[in-house]
Structure 1
Amino acid sequence: MSKQTTFFRHPCKTLRQAFLLATLCGLSQLADSASYTRPEQLIDATRAFLEREVTDYLQSSQIEARHEIELNRLDPRLRLAACNQALTTRLESPAQPVGRTTVRVSCEGSSPWSVFVPAHVHLFREVIVARRPLTRESVIEQADITLAERDVSTLTQGYLTSFDQVLGNKITRSAQPDQVLPPTYLSAAEIVRKGDQVVISAKNSTINVRMPGEALSDGALGAQIRVKNQRSGRTIKARIVGPGHVEVAM
């Protein structure tokens, strides 16, 4: 009967071989990663660029706001040649770094390439919102509105930031509590109504004449309306300069 010979590997030798294999694999992966620009590098470059752009935009526009930058995840399988120069970045769209943006990240080295990184810059500002339900055609008073923080990058209809822009105006659509009031929801309230008794002023550098009149139509501040001169009976056009006061040019 033939004898079967069994070989035993020395445990220390086996451990050394495993360690050597792991080291070689690690070096191989390190060398492989060094030959490519990693997606994390693109994300870091984009974030740093947008931070600078947003800061400059807020300072130049004299806007008080806080911001958050949201970057979309890039495909981890993305393989771009390692760049032997610093990466360059520029805003591809839109013109201002607010809302949904696209940043072009480029390598201008020996192996040039470009990639587009999508992002969203959230800009939070204090804007005018309704404090209570507002009905169409009502004139806005202080108790009707308040300031609240909103992400203005999502307010496609615009927004207002000052009470002076809203108070005394007429709301053209109904609004619910906490609803943002965009400029399209407002119009100048009429301060002169048809049938009102008004004072007509006619003046130039040397003459200032005042006479009684009657408004023949409604109008807001600065609007031109038809007015009847009660002394002459003539109908003229005059500009509203205040409650019960219109002015004609001479």
Structure 2
Amino acid sequence: MNVMTTLFRHMMAKRRFSFGVLPALCLLGYNPLQAAALVMPEELIGATEGFLEFSVEDYLERSEIQARYEISVNPLDPRLRLAACDSDLTQALESPAQPVGRVTVRVSCEGSTPWTIFVPAQVRLFSPVVVATRPLNRGDLLGPDTVALAEQDIGTLTRGYLTSTELVVGRKMTRPVRTGQALTPALLELAESIKRGDQVVISARSGGINVRMPGEALSGGTLGQQISVRNLSSQRVIKARIAGPGQVEVEM
């Protein structure tokens, strides 16, 4: 066999594959153009970011929270191979229930070649909250100089937070905190307005008449609480409501 014969047979073999095998594969449902069409990781990341932006805006509006947000989607494996979707991609929040903190978004194709992928991301919400301006100990009374507003990621404050310094001034710490730490409702309690043994002024109201007399607190309490008080004029023990530091009221 000479060289020309070998070359001719080789060319005919290639021709049989090109014009024989390829149509057969197409009849079996194989389309080389479709096989090469893949969804890019950038498209999945963009779909996830767009979905989370809408979800976060809706969450902030429903919750009436004033906050700015940052969304970061984790990088996807560049070796990922998903067929291009012939319909719009759908997204849903897989976990948690609200778009805050570490989240997972389910991205799906419901077209002729369906698939689903779970994309991890993180949503950070920043809002001014009440923080300590210096280290505080248990029992410390909060004043205007001990608290301030500072922006923090409220998504990490799972035990709650406070947004007004006016609501905490005059309250007492239940445990120590460090400088810059966000104050939560559980860290605060009402400070006693009156302590046992304090001298108080008893106000007794009856119609338009207001009688004031000296008294002694037999128990301590906070604003609005009812305590036992001895009327120093009559030595009678009565129940009175704390109206302020050193002030109690009795309904006649």
Q: Tell whether the structures are fold-level matches, with TM greater than 0.5.
A: yes
1:184 paired residue number: 186
Number of the residue aligned with 2:59: 57
Deviations 1:169-207 (A, max 9, x none): 111222332222222221111111111233445558x57
Taking the aligned partners of 1:180 and 1:126, their CA distance within structure 2 comes to 10
Cα distance change on mapping 1:51 and 1:207 into 2, 3 Å: same
For 1:121 and 1:144, the matched residues in 2 are separated by 31
Q: Distance in 1 between matches of 2:199 and 2:238?
A: 14
With over 3 angstroms needed to count, the CA separation of the structure-2 counterparts of 1:166 and 1:218, relative to structure 1, is same
Structure 2 unaligned segments of length 5 or more: list them.
1-30
Q: CA deviation at 1:240?
A: 2.0
Q: Which moved more, 1:222-231 or 1:164-173?
A: 222-231
- Of the structure 1 ranges 105-114 and 40-49, higher mean CA displacement relative to structure 2 is found in 105-114
Instruction: Pick the aligned partner of 2:230 from 216, 228, 231.
Output: 228
2:156 is the counterpart of 1:158: no
Alpha-carbon distance in 1 for matches of 2:229, 2:34 = 86
Alpha-carbon separation, structure 2, partners of 1:108 and 1:249: 71
* TM-superposed deviation, 1:91: 1.8
Question: How is 1:74-153 mapped onto 2 (pairs within 5 angstroms)?
Answer: 74-153=76-155
Secondary structure (helix, strand or coil) at the match of 1:80 reads coil
CA drift of 1:32 comes to: 3.9
Q: So what's the TM-score if we normalise by structure 2?
A: 0.75
Cα shift at 1:128: 1.6
Counterpart-to-counterpart distance in 1, 2:110 and 2:34? 22
Relative to the length of structure 1, the TM-score reads 0.76
CA contact (8 A) 1:201 1:208 kept: no
Q: Find the counterpart in structure 2 of residue 19 from structure 1.
A: none
Quote how far apart the aligned CAs of 1:68 are.
0.8
- CA shift, 1:72, in A, is 1.5
The change in CA–CA distance for 1:203 and 1:89 in structure 2 (over 3 A counts) is farther
Deviations along 1:194-246, one digit per CA (max 9) or x if unpaired, are 11233445558x57664543221221112232333445544444332322233
C-alpha change, 1:202 and 1:38, in structure 2 (3 Å) is: farther
- Structure 1 77/217 Cα, relative in aligned 2: closer, same or farther at 3 Å? same
RMSD of the alignment, in Å?
A: 2.7
- Count of residues paired in the alignment: 222
Unaligned stretches of 5+ in structure 1?
1-27
Q: Check the 8 A contact 1:98/1:123 in 2, yes or no.
A: yes
Quote the Cα distance in structure 1 between the aligned partners of 2:42 and 2:195. 65
Deviation at 1:165, TM superposition (A): 1.9
With over 3 angstroms needed to count, the CA separation of the structure-2 counterparts of 1:113 and 1:133, relative to structure 1, is same
Amino acid at match of 1:105: V
**2:35 and 2:83 in contact (8 A); partners too:** no
Within 2, Cα distance between the matches of 1:52 and 1:176?
Answer: 36
Structure 1 residue corresponding to 2:200, chosen from 180, 198, 201: 198
Residues in 2 aligned to 1:114 and 1:249: alpha-carbon distance in whole angstroms: 69
Letter in 2 for 1:163: T
